[in-house]
């Protein structure tokens, strides 16, 4: 087994099995590990990650000496306490069962349209052509700005590129996309102020009128419109509503291709898609890690943590903890129980969890049904998303038998 010192959180060249082995060494030998090179604590066990998440009054989500440049205050992810609760209450109105009613049929249509666009070619990029369009179109529809899908795609590419590098927009095209996105979002907000609708922007504006989102202070971030919390939150939802789900879908198909017996069983038993979606979320862990700041001296797992220090919650490790998961090294589409924490835990549990599960289930199900022989393109290599936070892919070339 590797030594705990062999885990390097920013080394994105390591294969999954190597990373999992290094994390297992940390869990076994030093579960609350001081990473001297980075100057933060690594939290690896499922129980400890849950404990930290359960106590935001001790382990704060608010940026105080951020770990990475993009951990900026432009969403409720960077809030705690009453302010977070007020913001969450406003936005959650857009994620009720009633609000989500009918989105599954829309997801089916968008998935079929994405497959139709590539079916005759016999090849595609699973990320760009399938996994990205469906969740992005859904969240754009929920915001009431679905007609600008291609603009959102260009803007997301620009902003995620800044996340992966030095928190600046990388090219002139990125700057143009950011300006066009800002102009469009501002015009959409102005329109909803005059003519409210039944969409997420209108819900947020009602929260602003109630004094909730106006008080949501945030830090500037490249490509995100300056202004009050509504503008920042629209940006956050476009990102969060598309990024993590696309990574779960693309990495989920990669896992099924790598485990043909599980893929064959799922294709023959589509009633298992619900369980399989949660196993995909556990196995892929789209959000690899998040940071918290220690608000006062505290003991965690037998270690003394000082006020002001940073802890990094390693969800990828927690989701492979043998204290919680039977044979965690196995990818099993019917795993039950499956207490993964890919959506976080506690007050920051993902509002869009049910939406994401539905999108994964729909897209994976339609791919298995309509492209049953889909495989990774020979000689190609998946391209990993350059982020220590997100476990995802930017490219996943695939081939299949062309269909009319």
Show pLDDT as tens, one digit a residue, over the chain (404 residues).
555 557 898 888 888 889 999 999 999 999 999 999 889 999 999 999 999 999 999 999 876 554 544 455 556 677 788 877 887 888 888 888 887 888 999 999 999 999 999 999 999 999 999 999 999 999 999 999 877 888 888 888 888 777 655 567 778 888 999 999 999 999 999 999 999 998 999 998 988 877 766 555 556 677 888 777 788 888 888 888 888 899 999 999 999 999 999 999 999 999 999 999 999 999 999 999 988 999 999 999 999 999 999 999 999 999 999 999 999 999 999 999 999 999 999 988 998 999 999 999 999 999 999 999 999 999 998 998 878 888 899 999 999 999 98
* Residue labelled with tokens 């490509």: 223
362, 114 Cβ separation under 8 angstroms = no
Q: What is the SS3 assignment for 327?
A: coil
74, 236 Cβ separation under 8 angstroms = yes
Q: Which two tokens stand for residue 180?
A: 């066009």
What is the Cα–Cα distance from 347 to 55, expressed in whole angstroms? 9
Q: Provide the β-strand partners of residue 313.
A: 43, 290
pLDDT at residue 355 in the model: 95
**CA angle at 388 for the pair 385 and 394, rounded to the nearest 5°:** 5
Closest CA relative to residue 368, chosen from 259, 282, 284: 259
* Residue labelled with tokens 């990993």: 384
Q: Give phi and psi for 267, each to the nearest 5.
A: -60, -35
Closest CA relative to residue 237, chosen from 364, 356, 125, 108: 356
Helices of type H across 103-223: 103-119, 133-143, 149-164, 172-194, 200-209
45, 323 Cβ separation under 8 angstroms = yes
Q: Which two tokens stand for residue 349?
A: 């549990």
Q: Which two tokens stand for residue 3?
A: 């030594």
pLDDT at residue 66 in the model: 47
Contacts of 240 (CB under 8 A, 6+ apart): 75, 352
Q: What is the SS3 assignment for 386?
A: coil
What is the Cα–Cα distance from 127 to 331, expressed in whole angstroms? 21
């Amino acid at each position: 087994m590797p030594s705990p010192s062999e885990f390097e959180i920013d080394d994105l060249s390591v294969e999954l099995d190597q990373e999992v082995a290094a994390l297992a060494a940390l869990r076994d030998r030093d579960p609350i590990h001081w990473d001297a090179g980075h100057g933060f604590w690594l939290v690896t066990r499922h129980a400890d990650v849950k404990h930290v998440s359960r106590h935001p009054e001790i382990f704060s989500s608010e940026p105080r000496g951020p770990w990475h440049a993009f951990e900026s205050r432009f969403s409720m992810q960077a809030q705690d306490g009453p302010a977070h609760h007020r913001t969450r209450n406003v936005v959650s109105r857009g994620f009720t069962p009633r609000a989500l009613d009918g989105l599954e049929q829309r997801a089916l249509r968008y998935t079929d349209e994405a497959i139709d666009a590539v079916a005759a070619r016999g090849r595609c990029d699973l990320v760009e052509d399938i996994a990205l369009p469906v969740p992005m179109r859904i969240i754009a529809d929920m915001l009431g700005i679905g007609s600008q899908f291609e603009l959102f795609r260009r803007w997301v590419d620009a902003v995620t590129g800044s996340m992966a590098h030095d928190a600046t927009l990388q090219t002139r095209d990125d700057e143009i996309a950011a300006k066009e996105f800002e102009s469009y979002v501002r015009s959409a907000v102005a329109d909803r102020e005059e003519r409210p609708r039944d969409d997420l922007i209108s819900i947020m504006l009602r929260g602003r009128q109630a004094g909730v989102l106006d008080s949501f202070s945030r830090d500037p971030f490249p490509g995100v419109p300056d202004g009050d919390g509504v503008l920042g939150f629209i940006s956050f939802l476009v990102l969060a509503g598309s990024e993590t789900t696309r990574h779960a879908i693309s990495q989920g198909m990669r896992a099924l291709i790598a485990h043909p017996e599980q893929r064959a069983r799922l294709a023959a038993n589509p009633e298992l898609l619900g369980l399989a979606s949660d196993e995909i979320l556990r196995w892929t862990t789209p959000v690899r890690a998040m940071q918290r700041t220690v608000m006062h001296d505290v003991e965690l797992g037998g270690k003394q943590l000082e006020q002001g220090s940073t802890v990094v919650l390693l969800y990828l490790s927690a989701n492979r903890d043998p204290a919680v998961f039977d044979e965690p090294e196995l990818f099993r589409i019917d795993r039950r129980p499956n207490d993964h924490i890919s959506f976080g835990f506690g007050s920051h549990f993902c509002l869009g969890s049910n939406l994401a599960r539905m999108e994964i289930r729909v897209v994976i199900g339609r791919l298995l049904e309509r492209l049953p022989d889909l495989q990774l393109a020979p000689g190609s290599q998946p391209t990993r998303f350059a982020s220590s936070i997100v476990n995802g892919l930017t490219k996943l070339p695939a081939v299949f038998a062309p269909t009319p």
